[in-house]
Amino acid sequence: MDDRFGQLAALAVHGANVQPQQVVAIGAYLGQEDLVRAIAAEAYRRGAMFVDAQYFDPFVKRARIEHADPGSLEFVPSWYGARVDTLGDRRDARIHLAGVTHLGALDGVDPALAGRDQLPYIKEIPRVVGERTTNWTIVPCPHPAWASLVHPDLEPDNAYATLWEELWHVLRLDEPDPLRAWDDRTATLNRNAATLAARRFDAVELKGPGTDLTVGLLSTATWWAADFRTVDGLRHFPNLPTEEVFTTPDPERTEGQVTSTRPLVFRDGTIVRGLRVRFEGGRAVAIDADENAAALRSQIALDDGAARLGELALVDREGRIGPLGTIFYETLLDENASTHIALGSGFEFLVDDHERPRVNKSGTHIDFMIGSGELAVTGVTSGGDRVPILRDGAWQI
């Protein structure tokens, strides 16, 4: 096994902050077995009681889309959700691996049908995240197929080596002490979040090529970095790498239109390119794209909250992902290269108790990127004052 998987596994177990006697649930794709095994070894060294690895096979999903009754595609066996609920009840750990392993597994299938089958996403996950009952993280897993997608102009071996180098850099594994490096970067992100929270903006305006959007904020909403604590006070980093600060918006006060600046890639590998979304009264009322718009339309039809915003996240130019200029075709990486929004479930822990019923509820959470160096982000106070937040990717407050 490549020794680098061992170092990546150590970072993943650190990010999730695996504790003695916990069950560690790993969500992975076929082709990521080496990292899964390295994580299992590291988790057991940390005292884990049991490591439960669950693999997703996109070709099994393809068979379902091609041959199953279309009316059955939204069905998910009850034990899938029960597994997630039990992990929360037990206060266990979750580690998810990101990255492409099978290019084109769903090529040629009807994207509208593919979107109706949300797997490998499980609708119970937003609730467990909101209730903060598991300590968890997501980390990328290099794979030759992913490398060929990201670097199609390179020979396969060179593409794979380049992907490793880029991930090593953005994960700060090239630092003498990567864990200390993440602590330092997280401290900066936490300061940025605290500065935003102190301004108590009523809304945020985002303007750039193809984007003119106003996102209303809840009155008690705060801003966080991806530095979480469970209900029991256990610290963990849900995303590695992470470069964002985020809040949960008022789901009824989003107006305008946005144009994506990077492709949206679903967990099953479906790629939505050239996405354009128009909002009225908080809802996405029009969705168009150059490719696979029907897949997103199917996803937001799954429940009432899926067409409303659950997250607004700001990303500056000081992180390591954006300056590379690489499109990774993986939300974990691409969302931390640029400002983004998310349709679907919001975060109840970001508001006071009396406003929690107003936070958006949904069984899905779909991030897509709208940021660039040309995006101007402006805060609007309740009195109508306009305060620059980001210009050319640099903080103004």
The tens digit of pLDDT for each residue in 373-392 reads 899 999 999 999 999 999 99
Strand, helix or coil for residue 232: coil
pLDDT at position 268: 82
Q: Answer yes or no: is pLDDT of 1 > 80.
A: no
Q: How far is the C-alpha of 219 from the C-alpha of 261, rounded, in Å?
A: 29
| Structure tokens, 256 | 């305008």
pLDDT of residue 266: 87
Question: Which conformational region is residue 352 in: left (phi greater than 0), alpha (psi within -120 to 50 degrees), or beta?
Answer: beta
Closest to 114 in 3D by CA, of 156, 66, 152, 76: 66
Q: In CATH terms, is domain 3-169 a member of 3.30.70.20?
A: no
Cα separations in angstroms, 36 against 5, 42, 52, 58:
9, 10, 10, 18
Length of the chain: 397
Compute the CA torsion angle 140, 145, 151, 152 (nearest 10 deg): -160
Cβ neighbour number for residue 325 with a 10 Å cutoff: 7
φ/ψ of residue 143, rounded to 5: -155, 145
- For 216-224, what is the mean pLDDT? 97
pTM > 0.75: yes
Q: Are strands 93-98 and 23-29 parallel, antiparallel or unpaired?
A: parallel
Task: Give the tens place of pLDDT for each residue, 332-363.
Answer: 999 999 999 999 999 999 999 999 999 999 98
The H-assigned helical ranges of 69-216 are 78-90, 111-116, 125-131, 144-150, 156-170, 178-199
**Quick one: pLDDT band at residue 79, thresholds 50, 70, 90?**
very high
Residue limits of CATH 3.40.1830.10 in the chain? 3-169
Quote the CA–CA distance of 217 and 179 in Å, as a whole number. Answer: 34
Indicate whether 396 pLDDT > 90: yes
Return the residue matching tokens 């969302």: 335
CB atoms within 10 A of CB 314: 25
Q: Where residue 320 falls among pLDDT bands split at 50, 70, 90? A: very high
Residue-level pLDDT at 302? 82
pLDDT tens figures, 139-179: 999 999 999 999 999 999 999 999 999 999 999 999 999 98
